[in-house]
Amino acid sequence: MTTHPMTGRVVLITGAAGGLGRAHAHAFAALGAHVVLSDVTDPAAVVAEVTAAGGSALGVVAGVDTWEGSAVSVAAAVEAFGRLDVLVNNAGIIRDKSFAKATPEMIEAVLAVHLHGAFHMTKAAWPHLTERGGSIINTTSGSGLYGNFGQVNYAAAKAGLVGFTRSLALEGARAGIRANAIAPLAKSAMTETMMAPELLERLAPEWVSPLVTWLASDGCTATGNVYSVGAGRYARVATLEAPGVRFDHVPTIAELTEAAAAIDDLAGAVEPRSLADQIALVAPPA
């Protein structure tokens, strides 16, 4: 029997005219949610697909790169369906170039869509999400988590989303808002020319969307987490702090050189979940 655990929920997905956003829209609609598809490219074709499959969908042509465009998307969702429960910040662009050759325009355009876009959308959505609690899913990237040649702009924006997600999780807890991030790998317009066809074949975006719907679901308690996802693999990503080395005097370069291997050694590392956790590691109460 088909269950519809998201019946009555309103889910706003940015960048939903294709790729991962399209797959997320189908997945949420199949679970009974009203989906709002917002994109600078008209998402009408995806709206038609979702509706044809029996889902409830609304399309909005608006950009996340401005406060105004983002407010339009959120207002359209609330006007059409009366509430907002889930925000999926998914819209994205790439302007790849090595750091030495990247122009200010290439850097600013990428920050505007990925990082500022998440601020714009989340700011507009926040008052609605606080009404009954809600879920925010941001889209980071392996580039942001681990680095990638030629993607300094994109990597910085995507890494920014990790700090954004973790701090939102802390601030949202009292209002019942959970915030998590995914680092997907999927075949899309964005990756079609970046990855080998044999690899892309294994990376259907439909493998990613179940994680997003799970993160948004009532039973899920995850918050402040980051997940690596693709090709049927689902794995949490963590930032760890090694036990480190403590000196009782200000160390010299020679002493740090000698201690370097121990400073780098992750054996016994722990996962701080906030700045307060780091403070407790660095300067534990005397």
Ligand X SMILES: NC(=O)c1ccc[n+]([C@@H]2O[C@H](COP(=O)([O-])OP(=O)(O)OC[C@H]3O[C@@H](n4cnc5c(N)ncnc54)[C@H](O)[C@@H]3O)[C@@H](O)[C@H]2O)c1
C-alpha 24/C-alpha 207 separation (Å) is 10
Q: Which of 55, 59, 92, 160 binds ligand X (CB under 6 A)?
A: 92
Q: Which of 15, 55, 134, 224 binds ligand X (CB under 6 A)?
A: 15
Is 153 among the residues that bind ligand X (CB under 6 A)? no
∠ at Cα 242 (240, 246), nearest 5°? 145
Is 19 among the residues that bind ligand X (CB under 6 A)? yes
Helix (H, G, I), strand (E, B) or coil at 221: coil
Q: Which residue's entry shows tokens 């999400």?
A: 129
Residue 126 beta carbon to ligand X: minimum distance, rounded to whole angstroms: 18
Residue among 163 and 176 whose Cβ is closer to ligand X? 163
C-alpha 129/C-alpha 131 separation (Å) is 5
Looking at 9-17, 125-133, 173-181, 211-219, which segment touches ligand X (CB under 6 A)? Answer: 9-17
Residue 168 beta carbon to ligand X: minimum distance, rounded to whole angstroms: 17
Is 65 among the residues that bind ligand X (CB under 6 A)? yes
C-alpha 166/C-alpha 66 separation (Å) is 23
Report the candidate in 85, 84, 50, 57 with the shortest Cα–Cα distance to residue 217. 85
Q: Please report which helix (H) or strand (E) contains residue 153, including its range.
A: helix 152-172
Question: Phi then psi for 39, rounded to 5 degrees?
Answer: -165, 155
Is 184 among the residues that bind ligand X (CB under 6 A)? yes
C-alpha 116/C-alpha 95 separation (Å) is 16
Contacts with 146 (C-beta within 8 Å, 6 or more apart), sequence order: none
Q: Which of 59, 63, 160, 224 binds ligand X (CB under 6 A)?
A: 63
Residue 61 beta carbon to ligand X: minimum distance, rounded to whole angstroms: 9
Tokens of 72: 């339009």
Mark whether 234 is an active-site residue: no
Site residue total, ligand X (CB under 6 A): 27
Is 36 among the residues that bind ligand X (CB under 6 A)? no
Is 139 among the residues that bind ligand X (CB under 6 A)? yes
- Provide the β-strand partners of residue 230: 233
Residue among 64 and 211 whose Cβ is closer to ligand X? 64
Is 47 among the residues that bind ligand X (CB under 6 A)? no
- Provide the β-strand partners of residue 235: 228
Residue 72 beta carbon to ligand X: minimum distance, rounded to whole angstroms: 11
Q: Which of 76, 110, 113, 124 binds ligand X (CB under 6 A)?
A: 113
Give contact residues for ligand X (rule: CB under 6 A).
14-15, 17-21, 39-41, 63-65, 90-93, 113, 139, 141, 184-186, 188-191
Active site residues: 154
